[in-house]
Structure 1
Amino acid sequence: MTWLLFAEAAVPEGGLFDLDATLPLMALQVVLLTFLLNSLFFRPVGKVVEEREGYISTSRADAKQKLAQVERLEADLTEQLREARQAAQSAIVEAEQEVDKLYREALAAAEAEANRTREQARREIESQREAAQTQLMSKVDQLSAQIIQRLLAVS
Structure 2
Amino acid sequence: MTSWLLLGATEGGLFDLDATLPLMAVQVVLLTFILNALFFRPVGRVVEEREGYITTSRAEAKQKLAQVERLEADLAAQLKEARLATQKLIQDAEQDCDRLYREALAAATADANASREQARREIDAERESAFKQLQGDAEKLGDLIVDRLLAAK
Whether these two folds match at TM > 0.5 is: yes
* 1:68 equivalenced with 2:66 (yes/no): yes
Bigger mean CA offset, 72-81 vs 141-150: 141-150
- How far apart, in 1, do the equivalents of 2:137 and 2:17 lie? 170
Number of corresponding residues = 144
Tell me the C-alpha RMSD between the 2 structures.
Answer: 2.5
Bigger mean CA offset, 72-81 vs 55-64: 72-81
Matched to 1:131, the amino acid is S
Residue 136 (structure 1) shift: 3.0
Structure having the higher helix fraction is 1
Residue by residue over 1:74-118, the C-alpha shift from the partner in whole angstroms, topping out at 9 and shown as x without a partner, is 112212222222222222212221221122122112111110110
3-state secondary structure, aligned to 2:68 = helix
Choose which of 7, 27, 46 in structure 2 pairs with 1:29. Answer: 27
Choose which of 13, 27, 51 in structure 1 pairs with 2:11. Answer: 13
Residue in 2 that maps onto 1:118: 116
Percent identity for Structure 1 against Structure 2: 71
Considering Cα pairs closer than 8 Å and 6+ residues apart, tell me whether 1 or 2 has the greater RCO. Answer: 2
Matched to 2:56, the amino acid is T
Bigger mean CA offset, 20-29 vs 118-127: 20-29
Residue 146 (structure 1) shift: 5.1
Q: TM-score with structure 2 length normalisation?
A: 0.78
3-state secondary structure, aligned to 2:44 = helix
Unpaired stretches in structure 2, ≥5 consecutive residues: 1-9
Residue in 2 that maps onto 1:96: 94
Residue in 2 that maps onto 1:9: none
- How far apart, in 1, do the equivalents of 2:96 and 2:103 lie? 10
Residue 53 (structure 1) shift: 0.3
Matched to 1:83, the amino acid is E
- How far apart, in 2, do the equivalents of 1:99 and 1:87 lie? 18
Residue 148 (structure 1) shift: 6.5
Residue in 1 that maps onto 2:131: 133
- 5 Å-filtered alignment, 1:46-61, equals 46-61=44-59
- How far apart, in 2, do the equivalents of 1:137 and 1:92 lie? 65
Residue by residue over 1:7-59, the C-alpha shift from the partner in whole angstroms, topping out at 9 and shown as x without a partner, is xxxxx726333333223322221221111011011101110110110011011
Q: TM-score with structure 1 length normalisation?
A: 0.77
